Amino acid sequence: MIRFLLLALAISASAQELTTPVRKGLKYTYVDLLRLICPDLKVDKNDPTIASASKSVPIRTLGSKEPPEEWDGEIQVENVTTLDAKIPGPPQLLLMFDIKADDNAQHPTGELALFDIAAAPRLLDVVESPSMPDDHGSLWGNGLLHLSPTSDAFVFETNHSNSSQGYQAFTILFVNRGRIRQIEDVMLLSCNYCNGGAFGESATISAASNQITIRVVLKFLPKKSARIYSATYRWNAAKQQYIPTSNALRLLETFNQKNY
């Protein structure tokens, strides 16, 4: 289980009608932005919240060194919403949506796209949202972590479980220089019958001025003895990234790998 501090509502409550403006005062619609990703996108005549297409631009996977991949074939675009995170620089907008195809109909793929909307909209970046094979993933708590007056981070949660283990991943993202970037991927493990015995892990994430602190509690059962892993990530302007001040989460990762 994980708790977030300094949260603010940030995501549309429901899927948007695609022919409506993406933001009050703008003439550009969701269709205008989505066609920068799926050029032949067509809105469904019976349901204006979904659309179809047959191809996409290359979409990258966060943390992967593999080249971005395109959708090629009949797809459906649905659950389109905006994520109103603060982004430094010229006016920009984050769009979240799902892509459904024949081979992922039960578990559509989440996508996250970044646009420059200072003038005519331009696609800056598009990535596959964090997920697990049987979990689409979601934005935790519809909230943001406030890094500075002009910058927010946002967190995706994914879950998976089997008969003896439970997995949680919390991927912390933000936008910098026209790219969606990852600060950290917090991996938690709960286990009934592992090399390390029975244990569970929980985490707290908090944000302050240009820094994020992650605190994970590893609790052994049934004795309830505990270990604490804490790391603070501070903004490094020279490297343009958040740098951890300790290797605590790498030590947690090492412990968990021995128990997978």
Residue span of the structural domain in which 142 resides: 2-257
| Distance, C-alpha 131 to centroid of its chain | 8
Cβ neighbours of 183 (radius 10 Å) = 23
Task: Give me the pLDDT at residue 30, please.
Answer: 97
Residue 257's SS3 state is helix
Flag whether pLDDT at 2 surpasses 70: no
pTM of the model: 0.89
Residue type, 151: S
pLDDT in tens, 167-215: 999 999 999 999 999 999 999 999 988 888 899 999 999 998 999 999 9
CB 199 within 8 A of CB 219: yes
- Nearest Cα neighbor of 16 from 36, 30, 32, 35 is 30
Residue 3: which pLDDT band, with cuts at 50, 70 and 90?
very low
Residue 197's SS3 state is strand
Write b or e for each residue in 222-236: b if 16 or more Cβ atoms lie within 10 A of its Cβ, otherwise e: eeeeeeebebbbebe
The total domain count for the chain is 1
